[in-house]
Amino acid sequence: MTRLATPFIVLFVAAFVAAQDETSSPAVVTETLPGATALAPYVCALKAGGGKPPYIWSAEGSLPVGIALDENGVLGGTPRESGRFAFTVVVTDAAKRSARKVLLLNVAPAPAPQRKPKVDPSTVEGALALALDWLARHQDTSALGGEPGRWEAAGFMRRCVGEQCSNPLSTSQFFDVGVSSLALMAFVSAGETHRVGRHKAVVGAALKWLLSKQDAMGWIGRPQRHGLWWTERWYYNHVLASWALCEALAASGDADLLRSPCEKAISRVLVAQNPQAGWRYEPGRGASDTSLTSLSILALDAARRARIDLPWRRLKATAGGWLKKMCDAETGRFGYLKAGDGGYAEPGVNDEYLRAPATTALAIRALQVLGETLPGRSLRLLATNPPVWGESGRGVDMYYWWHATCVLSVLGGEGWTRWRAAVAPLLIKRLCGEKDGCARGSFPPVGKWALIGGRVYSTALAAVVLGRCARAPAPDKDASENGPVEPRRKPPRSGP
């Protein structure tokens, strides 16, 4: 009898309690509110008990501006003022019975905004920061059919905001891999990688895009022969991409992502060398030129610094030996295809520009990383040909300025002091400013090779030069008058 009665007793008690809850008035259970901060999102769910659910909530009195209580009892919003605010909350149950309670909300003042340091474009560091920001803004995305991570030499303007940046109509569409590699090296030269730096996402996207352009054999940016994107000079794409990836590997140490692609790319550079000589457009076809030979040596040097095994002695004997033959003993000038030929220009495109000793600077840089003795006459040739803008930009040769800057910054001394005093102010003066709108932070696409590489090319190389100037400042003459000057740390013997 007792066992049968027990379930009925339990049900009776439960029904009685429920009836009591429904006949009792509702109550606001929440006692205190968590604090809020002005200009920061806030949310707090109020609790009620008793009465007959569902509950409807409302508020009376002065809530902070930006805060509201909805009918479900959620107090939230973004307060736009600070202070102590007392207000009454009202909860009403399904039987139209209400309960009230005064609550207090403390809103703390908003923290002082972190002021973004103003970039001073009149300094090397400021100009460099603006140049990198421009490159970051004009990196391609998936919008409008773009390829994330690429810098499009001829079509980057799709990323412009407002009035489009100007760009030469002669800019080539065949060298996006090479131009993107130069832009990537601008960031790496400034100490940024896909792991550290203000633009690590930009660097990461660039690496991903370049790796996507590597084929199964290891070539990067090699087009289908005589296809839509065919150019006989495609090896420029490969060697610059190989160099950029190896610099990124050396700087970041990310072997998981980069080591295998770098080894494959560098293996192709070695295959492309002409027997007992250097490199040219068509890998292994016999002819060599100073430009691609020197770039290949610099890419191999980056691989060596990234701890990729290389036949360095053989390279020094073959490629280094060929390079030394390109030097005119009388003038110290290195030729392009043969000693004393005066370098190369694109007929009908940039042959009206002044002939700076670009191949000389590039060859000396390659011999420098090979550990060869540098010809004194060649070094004097650089010293007597400082960077100049010239009438209508006819003196501009960023390619020359880049390699001469790297050579002289490593050598240091008075030669570097004079060169830096010429190139840094010249670039700072030509940096596009506020009045130039979207072009702010870029460099005008003028000069011998900017007509082919465009604004991205000019800005990337200018950024690399500014990066070298920032890493290797000239000795402080004023400080030397007041005592000994601390010896400056030399930049790496190579690098972007």
Would you state the pLDDT for residue 4? 45
Would you state the pLDDT for residue 393? 78
Q: What percent of the chain has pLDDT over 90?
A: 67
Residue with token string 């407002």: 162
CB 23 within 8 A of CB 50: no
Question: Higher-confidence residue: 171 or 55?
Answer: 55
Question: Higher-confidence residue: 170 or 119?
Answer: 170
Looking at residues 11-40, what average pLDDT do you find? Answer: 72
Quote the crossing angle between the two packed helices 398-411 and 413-430, to the nearest 10°. 140
Would you state the pLDDT for residue 117? 58
Instruction: Mention every residue, 6+ apart, whose C-beta is less than 8 A from residue 3.
Output: none
Question: Higher-confidence residue: 460 or 222?
Answer: 460
Each residue's pLDDT tens digit, 301-342: 999 999 999 999 999 999 999 999 999 999 999 999 888 777
How buried is 318 (Cβ within 10 angstroms: 0-12 exposed, 13-18 middle, 19+ buried)? middle
Residue with token string 């030469």: 168
Q: pLDDT class for 282, splitting at 50, 70, 90?
A: confident
How buried is 270 (Cβ within 10 angstroms: 0-12 exposed, 13-18 middle, 19+ buried)? middle
Distance CA 364, CA 400 (A): 12
Would you state the pLDDT for residue 162? 87
Residue with token string 């003993």: 329
Looking at residues 175-193, what average pLDDT do you find? Answer: 96
Would you state the pLDDT for residue 10? 43
Mean of per-residue pLDDT scores for the chain: 87
Residue with token string 């990461």: 204
Question: Higher-confidence residue: 90 or 24?
Answer: 90
Would you state the pLDDT for residue 488? 38
Looking at residues 252-267, what average pLDDT do you find? Answer: 97
Looking at residues 2-20, what average pLDDT do you find? Answer: 47
User: Which tokens belong to 432?
Assistant: 């596009």
Question: Higher-confidence residue: 197 or 483?
Answer: 197
Would you state the pLDDT for residue 244? 98
Answer yes or no: is pLDDT of 217 > 60: yes
CB 262 within 8 A of CB 242: yes
Looking at 72-81, 244-253, 267-276, 290-299, which range is the least confident one?
A: 72-81
Residue with token string 């990836």: 245
Instruction: Mention every residue, 6+ apart, whose C-beta is less than 8 A from residue 237.
Output: 175, 177, 178, 181, 220, 221, 222
Would you state the pLDDT for residue 409? 95
Would you state the pLDDT for residue 286? 76
Q: Where are the alpha helices (DSSP H) in 24-98?
A: none
Each residue's pLDDT tens digit, 407-463: 999 999 999 999 999 999 999 999 999 999 999 999 999 888 888 899 999 999 999
Question: Higher-confidence residue: 345 or 7?
Answer: 345
Distance CA 273, CA 291 (A): 13
Instruction: Count CA atoms within 13 Å of residue 316 on its CB side.
Output: 11
